[in-house]
Amino acid sequence: MAVLRIVQFPNPVLKQVARPVETVTDGIRALLRDMKDTMYDAPGIGLAAPQIGVSLRVIVIDVEWRDKDRNPRSYINPDIVETSGKITFDEGCLSVPDYGAEVVRASRVVVRALDEDGKPVEEEAEGLRAVCFQHEVDHLNGMLFIDRLSALKRGLYVKRRKKELARER
């Protein structure tokens, strides 16, 4: 088991557009294993590779593990190919410490990706699972949930975070 350090805002890796995985190798499967360990340890319901400092298009998701058994799923090169509806959800982010805010997103998505064997998969998700897919795919595109807030709300968070970091130094 390997729990990795989660990078936090404003680390520049969180702003990068992550690179697609070309071949699903044992190295990628090992990365996904470590990402699952890290997600459960955090604890979180999803994690994207840039959050552990790896700029590759891979995510892991398990939105129900606190109520049910663990059922982690991995998605390599995920692409949201269809969206519909609207949902407002109070989001948090493991890379944006001590902050939560409401974000409006699609309530239903269809995602295409590769699985851990490199096989194409297509999945439809609704509700929290749909929100989580959008949040994680945003990470792969260098976007945080605070980038989806008003300039005022985002600005207030950024100011507070900068003060906290200055105090830690």
* Structure token pair of residue 10: 């404003």
Closest by CA position to 55, among listed 2, 102, 14 = 14
Give the C-alpha separation, 28 to 36, whole Å: 12
Cα Rg of the chain, angstroms: 16
Toward ligand K1U, which CB reaches closer, 143 or 156? Answer: 143
* Structure token pair of residue 148: 């989806």
Q: Is 136 a catalytic residue?
A: yes
Toward ligand K1U, which CB reaches closer, 8 or 120? Answer: 8
Contact pick of 109, 131, 137, 140 for ligand K1U (by CB under 6 A): 131
Contact pick of 132, 137, 140, 149 for ligand K1U (by CB under 6 A): 132
Binding mask 35-74 for Zn ion (x = CB under 5 A): ----------------------------------------
Which residues does the annotation mark as catalytic?
136
